[in-house]
């Protein structure tokens, strides 16, 4: 039984002939078991060159070589003369073992290795060509059809190869295939686009899985990869989570190259640095690290790269996965990494010295480091006048306070501190609560639970139906609860105001944090009244002061207090007064004056000239 299982394993391990794979000839038609003028054709008569005894000996020797089918790294190996033809090997032959995962120069071996490593997937396409004459050159083109634009391959690669025979013939004389590949293909045939060499087998497989096209030639270890990535992707549309009345309407999409281009279109500077990294052992997700050289803190940039290098995970499918792995290890509902899908907001943060992470497959980019006040600033603040932006920021902060403390203040005052309520309102409240069988704490929990259920249902339902469900459900359930005597009308108003206040906060993650802490304050108010609320606020402020975002205090610029950053925190002063970049090194300016852009060098020159004039005057 063990011998039978081992034989079955070896049959699966043995690579299929390249003739059995899906190939396409030079005219683009798919063929099987077809080769042009090569020794790869093996007729059925060749299988009878050896007698029956030799075949039995070969079968026995195959079982003895079972431990030799894998090299030390676990990679499959095959005999050199059996790599492509699939013909039986004489028992007495001692053919050297050749890895399938190395650039051996044998075209058929490399094609077999590519197909085997990809599990003979149907979308891995191999197209064979015969280019030139006297003699002709065997070339294979490999790509994954689901990741590329086949029109690009047909028009710019296949057609270029078939229409440049005279160019190849001009350089074939006295040169080997390696020289032909380097001089003919790179300099004459593929003169446009990104054409580079693969460093090794692993690099070649990475380029193939990214949607590039591989060009392999016989008797050459040089493999070209051409950028042909394509396919369907979502068009640029308006941001769905951060819509503005006045300002740009573009939003990020799920394609990495498009998102980086949106940033390049807004910052036309050679100081904009973009570095790509691949994260995920299986998904191989590309992540772009974007920052402004000379503005971003070098220590923060180095820390970002260090944390990304330490990520060990099979797959990254959204920027949230990266956020959880690189954020500071603190147990808190508060977000310490800012996420947005607006290119204009991202560009503003880049000019402030932040580092941006763009993840392939996610329309949300990550911005680090971030502070608490950033979550109350909107993209619309920089599209409106400074006085309007300041008013809106104050309104958002007030909304967060209502979200956090609204129900708890109601519970504390109606349960412990009713003497603080005006007499007329107190009499009305007492009359409303006469028929209510539950205390204020239970009322608040019931209404909060109903409201959270409606909110979650509205998110999961289709957009139009979800909005109607929220409105109708809130009105019907609220009115029914009041008429049934389960909750009081005043508490219904308070809970409704709390829900509306949560929607006034620009960032969804900060609103979630406020909703979580709101339940804690409800419990404290029901237990200790206003004293519990004060203790909760003290603990909350202490917790927020202990947080860090890539080494930056979370409550900056309030604790520690930074005067120059107050110009664009709660208040937004006119642009003419915001001469220094918030969070950047002193002496760096971002305002253009009548004399041109003000830089640190110009400031030093002015100070030096003023000092010299003062010395001369004295």
pLDDT at 595: 43
Distance (Å, whole) CA 365 – CA 358: 5
Say what percent of the chain tops pLDDT 70.
71
Which is more confident, 493 or 182? 493
Which is more confident, 102 or 46? 102
Closest CA to 151 of 255, 231, 63: 231
Q: Is the pLDDT of residue 170 over 60?
A: no
Distance (Å, whole) CA 204 – CA 197: 9
Mean pLDDT throughout 245-262? 90
pLDDT at 455: 83
Other Cβ atoms less than 10 A from the Cβ of 405: the count is: 21
Distance (Å, whole) CA 281 – CA 600: 45
DSSP string, 41-52: ---TTGGGSS-H
Q: Which residues of 38-71 are buried (b: 16+ CB within 10 A; e: fewer)?
A: eebebeeeeeeebeeeeeeebeeebeeeeeeeee
Q: Where residue 14 falls among pLDDT bands split at 50, 70, 90?
A: very low
Contacts of 75 (CB under 8 A, 6+ apart): 99, 100, 101
DSSP string, 280-333: -TTT-EEEEEEEETTTS-HHHHHHHHHHHHT---S---SHHHHHHHHS-S---S
Q: Tell me which of 518-522, 527-531, 578-582 is least confident.
A: 578-582
Which is more confident, 257 or 10? 257
Residue 224, phi then psi, degrees to nearest 5: -90, 145
Crossing angle for the helix pair 489-503 and 508-528, nearest 10 degrees? 150
Other Cβ atoms less than 10 A from the Cβ of 533: the count is: 20
Q: Is the pLDDT of residue 55 over 50?
A: no
pLDDT at 517: 95
Maximum Cα interatomic distance, the chain, rounded to a whole number of Å: 113
Distance (Å, whole) CA 255 – CA 251: 12
Distance (Å, whole) CA 257 – CA 276: 11
pLDDT digits (tens, 9 = 90+) for 273-322: 999 999 998 888 999 999 999 999 999 999 999 999 999 999 999 999 99
Q: Is the pLDDT of residue 145 over 50?
A: yes
Place of tokens 């002939």: 17
Q: Is the pLDDT of residue 547 over 90?
A: yes
pLDDT at 136: 72
pLDDT at 609: 52
pTM of this structure: 0.72
Cβ(205)–Cβ(225) under 8 Å? Answer: no
pLDDT at 156: 79
Closest CA to 564 of 586, 544, 593: 586
pLDDT at 171: 52
Distance (Å, whole) CA 15 – CA 418: 83
């Amino acid at each position: 039984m063990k011998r039978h299982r081992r034989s079955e394993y070896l049959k699966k391990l043995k690579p299929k002939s390249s003739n059995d794979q899906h190939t396409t000839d030079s005219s683009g038609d798919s063929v099987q078991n077809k080769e042009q003028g090569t020794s790869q054709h093996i007729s059925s008569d060749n299988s009878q060159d050896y007698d029956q005894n030799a075949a039995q000996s070969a079968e026995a020797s195959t079982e003895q070589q079972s431990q030799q089918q894998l090299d030390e790294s676990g990679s499959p190996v095959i005999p050199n003369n059996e790599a492509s033809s699939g013909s039986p090997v004489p028992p007495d032959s001692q053919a050297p073992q050749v890895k399938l995962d190395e650039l051996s120069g044998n075209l058929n071996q490399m094609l077999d290795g590519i197909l085997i490593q990809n599990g003979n997937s149907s979308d891995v396409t191999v197209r064979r060509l015969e280019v030139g004459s006297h003699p002709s050159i065997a070339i294979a083109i490999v790509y994954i059809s689901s990741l590329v634009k086949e029109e690009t391959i047909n028009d710019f690669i296949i057609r270029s190869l078939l229409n440049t025979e005279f160019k190849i013939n001009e350089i074939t004389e006295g040169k080997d295939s390696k020289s032909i590949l380097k001089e003919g293909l790179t300099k004459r045939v593929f003169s446009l686009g990104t054409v580079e060499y693969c460093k090794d087998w692993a690099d070649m497989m990475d380029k193939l899985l990214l949607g590039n096209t591989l060009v392999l030639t016989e008797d050459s270890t040089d493999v070209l990869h051409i950028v042909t990535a394509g396919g369907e992707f979502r068009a640029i549309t308006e941001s769905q989570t951060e819509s503005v009345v006045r300002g740009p309407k573009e939003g990020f999409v799920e394609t990495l190259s498009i998102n980086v281009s949106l940033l390049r279109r807004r910052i036309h500077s050679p100081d904009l640095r973009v570095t790509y990294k691949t994260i995920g052992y299986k998904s191989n997700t590309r992540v772009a690290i974007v920052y402004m050289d000379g503005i971003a803190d070098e220590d923060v940039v180095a820390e970002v790269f260090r944390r990304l290098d330490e990520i060990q995970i099979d797959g990254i499918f959204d920027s949230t996965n990266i956020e959880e792995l690189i954020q500071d290890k603190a147990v808190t509902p508060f977000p310490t990494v800012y996420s947005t899908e607006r290119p204009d907001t991202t560009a503003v943060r880049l000019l402030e010295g932040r580092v941006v992470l763009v993840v392939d497959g996610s329309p949300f980019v990550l911005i680090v480091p971030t502070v608490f006040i950033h979550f109350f600033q909107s993209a619309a603040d920089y599209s409106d006048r400074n006085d309007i932006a300041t008013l809106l920021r104050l309104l958002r902060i007030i909304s967060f306070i209502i979200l956090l403390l609204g129900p708890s203040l109601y519970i504390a005052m109606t349960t412990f501190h009713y003497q603080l309520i005006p007499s007329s309102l107190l009499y009305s409240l007492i009359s409303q609560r006469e028929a209510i069988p539950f205390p204020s704490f239970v009322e608040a929990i019931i209404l909060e639970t109903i409201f959270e259920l409606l909110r979650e249902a509205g998110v999961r339902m289709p957009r139009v139906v979800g909005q109607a469900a929220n409105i109708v459900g809130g009105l019907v359930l609220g009115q029914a609860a009041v008429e049934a005597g389960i909750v009081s009308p005043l508490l219904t108003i308070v809970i409704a105001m709390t829900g509306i206040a949560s929607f006034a906060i620009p960032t969804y993650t900060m609103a979630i944090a406020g909703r979580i802490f709101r339940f804690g304050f409800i419990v404290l108010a029901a237990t200790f009244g206003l004293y519990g609320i004060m203790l909760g606020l003290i603990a909350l402020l202490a917790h927020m002061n202990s947080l860090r975002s890539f080494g930056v205090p979370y409550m900056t610029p309030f604790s520690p207090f930074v005067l120059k950053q107050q110009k664009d925190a709660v208040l937004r002063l006119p642009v003419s007064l915001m001469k220094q970049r918030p969070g950047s090194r002193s002496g760096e300016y971002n305002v253009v004056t009548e004399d041109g852009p003000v830089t640190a060098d110009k400031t030093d020159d002015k100070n030096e000239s003023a000092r010299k004039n003062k010395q001369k005057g004295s």
